[in-house]
Chains A and B, each alone.
Chain A
């Protein structure tokens, strides 16, 4: 087991954001983290990234507590992309990738930047300021930043939110292709059910800070007697029961 989340909780003042959740991530698998807005997905990701201190519980990486790693030691194995987190707008795409490449201590940075920018087709706006790019272009740059260190653990928070179907499909296709060529464990938070079905090996469903169900897409659809993942999501999100 690569990553194990054990009885993880987070309480903000008196608000219980995450309530004793347990799950694990197998190495090189993609796990979808689903749930309605405010269900605790971002807080869970924040705790895994070391941005939020858990109120209780543990995050184990290869059976070692996340806290026992040095900040720089563990974070170089992670990376994260989200359309809600941006790169400095006044810097060009190349400058941003160079800075993050240096922060992640990438050897032969020029080659890595070249590689990733060719793959993600961002070369054409390489010298443009990041703030001047369209949403689709920004997302691709953000994804390039998140892959610059070839992370072992990649956390993606709605990577295709607000993108047109063409660009969305490109990003999903790229993640799929990248996964087939590289060893990476992915935790994907998304509201796009097609994306989840296409990319995820299994799913964790959250509601009000709790995990209410987990399994593969097909298992969950079958178990809840629905036709597709979207219907299953709606049933689980609206239901008051735990499964």
Chain B
């Protein structure tokens, strides 16, 4: 065993981490998110062990809706990453296509990819666990619209990061959704969060969507104002995401990163 060679190879990977802030962030990120998410879930079940009694499938429905959000965002990111991985980026950006057309194409295609991934899982849940998201009724459509818009927004923000920082931002693409999971109150009500986090969480559409989902399944009532609020917040975030994307595009043109993207 040659210590120098082991050291050299270790150094190669250390340099890689040290040269890239997104990679450092990625290392810190996962354990922190896991602790937050499972900490709040544990706290909720410790304090409210009977909350979900006789309410079959609330958690599974939440998981399915959360996965819809996850798939929407990842689909958007994946399509952008595919262009980078295949080194097709320059060809795409010199084609006579408007930036808003690129955003529209990714947004609309993401729904197809999302549904391809999700529909089989939704169908499997019916015979296996007796749980169907269709029990949410008509409001399901509105909940999905809110989730989709927010998922696409996260996709836009991540792709903006890819334009700004290049492929090293890729890890953030995978991690973006988990970042919001603890604050999104997917599996537990918002009351479980500390007060200061509740204020932040209310600024996210996820809280309103998942609170409403629980309201429908547990109380058998629908609060359309809550649904309207969640979609409105999602629209605001979406507009913000589009603006950030444009800023990143013009920034990338200034830095010249569009030419060598993928290298």
Q: Which residues of A contact B (CB under 8 A)?
A: 10, 12, 17, 42-43, 46, 49-53, 70-76, 78-80, 82, 84-90, 100, 103-105, 131, 145
Are B95 and A52 in contact (CB-based, < 8 A)?
A: no
Are B96 and A85 in contact (CB-based, < 8 A)?
A: no
Given contacts A10-B256, A70-B98, A75-B97, 10 further A-B contacts (CB under 8 A): A43-B256, A50-B253, A52-B258, A78-B94, A80-B90, A80-B91, A84-B263, A85-B90, A89-B86, A105-B96
Does B23 lie at the interface of the complex (its beta carbon under 8 Å from any beta carbon of A)?
A: no
Are B91 and A87 in contact (CB-based, < 8 A)?
A: yes
Who on chain A is nearest to B254 by CB? A53
Are A103 and B254 in contact (CB-based, < 8 A)?
A: no
* Bound complex: CA A82 to CA B99 (Å): 23
Answer whether A103 and B82 are a contact pair too, CB < 8 Å, given A12-B256, A85-B87, A85-B91. no
Are A75 and B256 in contact (CB-based, < 8 A)?
A: no
* Bound complex: CA A5 to CA B93 (Å): 21
Are B259 and A100 in contact (CB-based, < 8 A)?
A: no
Partner of A52, one of B83, B87, B88, B253: B253
Who on chain A is nearest to B91 by CB? A85
Q: Can you list 13 pairs linking A and B with CB atoms under 8 Å apart?
A: A42-B259, A46-B256, A51-B93, A52-B254, A53-B254, A71-B96, A74-B96, A75-B94, A75-B96, A85-B90, A88-B83, A103-B95, A131-B86
* Bound complex: CA A59 to CA B222 (Å): 59
Are B259 and A51 in contact (CB-based, < 8 A)?
A: yes
Q: Which residues of B contact A51 (CB under 8 A)?
A: 90, 93-94, 253, 256, 258-259
Are A73 and B82 in contact (CB-based, < 8 A)?
A: no
Q: Which residues of B contact A90 (CB under 8 A)?
A: 86
Are B255 and A12 in contact (CB-based, < 8 A)?
A: yes
Nearest-neighbour CB distance to chain B for A159, whole angstroms, equals: 14
Tally chain B residues at the interface, Cβ within 8 Å.
Answer: 23
Does B250 lie at the interface of the complex (its beta carbon under 8 Å from any beta carbon of A)?
A: yes
Nearest-neighbour CB distance to chain B for A3, whole angstroms, equals: 16
Query: Which residues B60-106 have CB closer than 8 A to chain A?
Result: 82-83, 86-91, 93-99
* Bound complex: CA A87 to CA B83 (Å): 9
Answer whether A86 and B87 are a contact pair too, CB < 8 Å, given A46-B256, A52-B259. yes
Who on chain B is nearest to A43 by CB? B256
Q: Which residues of A contact B99 (CB under 8 A)?
A: 71
* Bound complex: CA A51 to CA B89 (Å): 11
Are A52 and B256 in contact (CB-based, < 8 A)?
A: yes
Nearest-neighbour CB distance to chain A for B258, whole angstroms, equals: 4
Q: Mark B147-188, 1 if CB is under 8 A from A, else 0.
A: 000000000000000000000000000000000000000000
* Bound complex: CA A53 to CA B93 (Å): 13
Nearest-neighbour CB distance to chain B for A117, whole angstroms, equals: 18
Are A86 and B258 in contact (CB-based, < 8 A)?
A: no
Q: Which residues of B contact A10 (CB under 8 A)?
A: 256
Q: Which residues of A contact B91 (CB under 8 A)?
A: 80, 85-87, 100, 145
Residue among A49, A70, A71 having the largest count of chain B Cβ atoms under 10 Å: A71
Q: Which residues of B contact A84 (CB under 8 A)?
A: 87, 263
Are B90 and A76 in contact (CB-based, < 8 A)?
A: no
Answer whether A103 and B97 are a contact pair too, CB < 8 Å, given A46-B259, A85-B91. yes
Nearest-neighbour CB distance to chain A for B4, whole angstroms, equals: 32
* Bound complex: CA A103 to CA B99 (Å): 13
Residue among B93, B96, B97, B254 having the largest count of chain A Cβ atoms under 10 Å: B96
Q: Which residues of A contact B87 (CB under 8 A)?
A: 84-86
Nearest-neighbour CB distance to chain B for A230, whole angstroms, equals: 27
* 5 pairs of A and B residues whose beta carbons are closest in the complex: A75-B96, A72-B96, A76-B96, A103-B95, A86-B87
Nearest-neighbour CB distance to chain B for A65, whole angstroms, equals: 16
* Bound complex: CA A29 to CA B91 (Å): 24
Q: Which residues of A contact B253 (CB under 8 A)?
A: 50-53
Are B88 and A85 in contact (CB-based, < 8 A)?
A: yes
